[in-house]
Amino acid sequence: MTRRIKIGKLDDFPRGKLMQVKVADVTMIVSRIGDHVCAARDRCPHMGLAFTEGPGACHFADGVIQCPWHNSRFELCSGKNLDWVTGFMGQPTPKWSQQLLQLGRQPAPLTTYTIIQEDGLVYVEI
Ligand code: FES
């Protein structure tokens, strides 16, 4: 059963800033891109590691997040995978080591959540 949970006011989500929000037992990454707030699970589909707890900072710009562990990149709003395991800690690595780091896992999208914006408030469906 889907629940609709308030996560804040629209003004709580400055444009382009990536924020961590905990809803029930799920940790999400949330950002406002243009006038729309988007949310995804704070877990990389490669190894299930948190974007917000990686070595060094995770990079987020123009609605795209780069995993701080092995550089996979995703569109936050759609969850679409753009690059899959291209390096380590923000640095590129040779192709042969990328294949080792992939651990046989195939590219996968982020788990995204439906956001509802209503009367200046932001809700997530979970
Ligand atoms: S854990 Fe994110 S790319 Fe490996």
Q: What is the pLDDT of residue 57?
A: 72
Cα 54 to ligand 1 centre (Å)? 9
- In this predicted structure, the answer to whether residue 36 has a pLDDT above a threshold of 90 is yes
Check if 50 has its Cβ closer than 6 Å to any atom of ligand 1: no
Cα 72 to ligand 1 centre (Å)? 6
Here the CATH number for the domain that contains residue 29 is 2.102.10.10
Residue 118 structural domain: 4-125
In the chain, how many domains are there? 1
Q: What is the pLDDT of residue 12?
A: 96
Q: Which atom of ligand 1 is nearest to the CA of 48?
A: 1
pTM above 0.85, yes or no: yes
Q: What is the pLDDT of residue 109?
A: 98
- Give the span between the Cα atoms of 62 and 32, in whole angstroms: 10
Q: What is the DSSP string of 64-121?
A: EEE-TTT--EEETTT--EEE---EETTEE--HHHHHHHHTTPPP----EE-EEEETTE
